[in-house]
Amino acid sequence: GASPPAAPSPSDLGRALAGMLARRRSTGDDALEDLSALLEATECDRLFGKTGDPHPQMPEMLGEVATALEKYAAPPKENGAGEHGSFEVAEKAAEVGLLFLKLLRKVEAAKNSPVCPEWRTGLRHLAGPVYVFAVTHSLEQPWTSPRSRDVAGQVLALLLQVTDCKSAAGFLRGEDEEEKGRFTVILGLLKPSLNKESWKNNPAVKHIFSWTLQQVTRPWLNQHLERILPPSLLISDDYQTENKILGVRCLHHIVLNVPVADLLQFNRAHVLYHALFNHLYTPEHQLIEAVLLCLLDLFPVLEKAQRWKGDGVLQLMLTHMEPEHRLLLRRTYARNLPAFVGRLGILSVRHWKRLERVIVGYLEVYDGPEEEARLKILETLKLLMQHTWPRVACRLVVLLKALLKLMCDVARDRSLTPEPVKNALLQEATGCLIVLDHCCRGQVKGLLARILLSCEDRKVVSCLREVCQGSEATRSLPPVAPGLCQRREWESCRCHRTEGET
């Protein structure tokens, strides 16, 4: 017959939340249980206020509690906890995630209630910490578990639903031009943990920053350039390869999504170039891959500032490629070499001697079943001959020997290389011979006619006959006699060629 207990008043609720906030570090589990019970017993109008009865301190208090919960579930400092510690963090995150789900459901109920006008204010204070928690624990990391990732994913989905956002990108930048996104708020929350002294205290902050940055594209990103560029440079300048790669990918995203004028302002593009160029001296193939891809997209920006840097990068690449014996690095360099030759165009004539040595050397070395390096080197050779065809005739003997040796080696290969890969190598080599013949005014056909009389390999004979009969590909090549515009471009290039190149 006793009357049910009355729901706590807003002032009592505020004191209770403040007490739990103070007890969080000493008795975290008990505080989580008490907070869960308190949220279940509290109606949404007690949390967000009734019409005509505002309680302005409650939204701020909820934001402080959300921030405390996010920090309580944060992973420890790098190398500060072993496997057992990571398991504890994942368990804490799952419990905190369930609390955030209850809190967001209260916001959703208040949103649909006509007597809770302060739900927008409360959501504004909650959204940032809840987002940081959800991203921290929804990515696959050492401090997460399948259960914690599932709960964090639910938290992020419910947060987007409550904020009427279709995606995380819409949540950060705003769903339309009139709506202001929350990217600035998130960067403000991350800023204290993204300086030189503190960014390694929380191993999750770099991943939160990187993932969040990737969601915001042009035209929204350039207005945040002053906030995102320093942390990206800081992460890329670390001694750990993992952090370097993460930072370079952040810089690449900035290069792709910030207007050229903003990158050129205050010499930012020049700073980016030097930060990336220094990474080319490291022997980590994944880092080299990320850096080369970023530099390829940065070169058009530098061209507009009349600071062409492609020559220096290609020269350093060739310096490293020539003696390199590690297969992963050889494949990485070879994979990106065609793009650099294509970007330089006729200017690649400055590097013909070194390119010739690299091409011949790489064509001689077996590259495993996929033959990625040799295929890319053949692509590079074809592009190089097309762009610098007046310089090809003097290299006819060297290139012809290298291509014929490759074709014979592939035809006699009895290794595990699949037949489609062998056929691709033979076709690419055939295409190079056709281009070489076009650049040398038919001299290749005359030399191959005598070889056909003594060659006994059926595959090689078929390829050589294709070269002798010509190909449709020759129609797209420049004429042997250059026109007026091509003459001027070629003469301009000759004036700037590297000393000693022939």
CA–CA separation, 331 and 169 (whole Å): 35
Three-state SS annotation for 27-41: CHHHHHHHHHHHHHH
- HSE of 115 in the Cβ direction (CA atoms, 13 Å)? 7
Helix spans in 73-167 (H):
83-111, 119-138, 146-162
Tokens at 473, concatenated: 């590909």
Could you tell me if residue 223 is left (phi over 0), alpha (psi between -120 and 50 degrees) or otherwise beta?
A: alpha
Does 241 have pLDDT greater than 70?
Answer: yes
pLDDT band at 251 (very low <50, low <70, confident <90, very high): very high
Calculated CA dihedral for residues 457, 462, 464, 470, nearest 10 degrees = 180
CA distances from 49 to 58, 102, 141, 239 (A): 8, 18, 39, 51
| Distance in angstroms (rounded) separating the CA atoms of residues 360 and 4 | 88
Lookup: tokens for 35: 């907070």
Q: Is the pLDDT of residue 59 over 70?
A: yes
3-state class (DSSP) for residue 325: coil
Confidence of residue 455 (pLDDT cuts 50, 70, 90): confident
Q: What percent of the chain has pLDDT over 70?
A: 81
Buried b vs exposed e over 373-387: b needs ≥16 C-beta within 10 Å? Answer: bbbbbbbbbbbbbbb
pTM, 2 dp = 0.86
Write down the pLDDT at residue 85.
63
Whether 3 shows a pLDDT value over 50: the answer reads: no
| Chain segment 298-323, per-residue pLDDT in tens | 999 988 765 566 788 999 999 999 99
**Exposure letters 330-361 (e unless 16+ CB within 10 A, then b):** bbbbbbbbbbbbbbbebbbbbbbebbbebbbb
Give the chain's mean pLDDT.
Answer: 84
Mention every residue, 6+ apart, whose C-beta is less than 8 A from residue 114: 51
Distance of CA 355 to the CA centre of its chain: 29
What pLDDT does 51 receive?
46
pLDDT tens, position by position, 122-166: 888 899 999 999 999 998 999 999 999 999 999 999 999 999 899
Confidence of residue 83 (pLDDT cuts 50, 70, 90): low
Per-residue confidence at 282, pLDDT binned at 50, 70, 90? very high
Residue 478 is classified by DSSP as P
Tokens of 104: 């967001």
pLDDT digits (tens, 9 = 90+) for 417-452: 899 999 999 999 999 999 999 999 889 988 888 888
Q: How many CB atoms lie within 10 A of CB 295?
A: 27
Using alpha carbons only, how large is the chain's radius of gyration in Å? 31
Instruction: Find out whether 351 and 499 touch, Cβ atoms under 8 Å.
Output: no
- Give the residues across from 53 on adjacent strands: 50
Poorest-pLDDT segment among 82-96, 137-151, 237-251: 82-96
Q: Give residues with Cβ within 8 angstroms of 275, minimum separation 6.
A: 233, 236, 237, 251
> 205-232, pLDDT tens digit by residue?
999 999 999 999 999 999 999 999 999 9
Phi, psi of 35 (to 5 degrees): -65, -40
pLDDT at 119: 75
Residue found under tokens 């590079």: 380
For residue 448, give both structure tokens: 């191959």
The tokens of 497 are what? 């060629």
> What is the tens place of the pLDDT at every residue in 329-354?
999 999 999 999 998 889 899 999 99
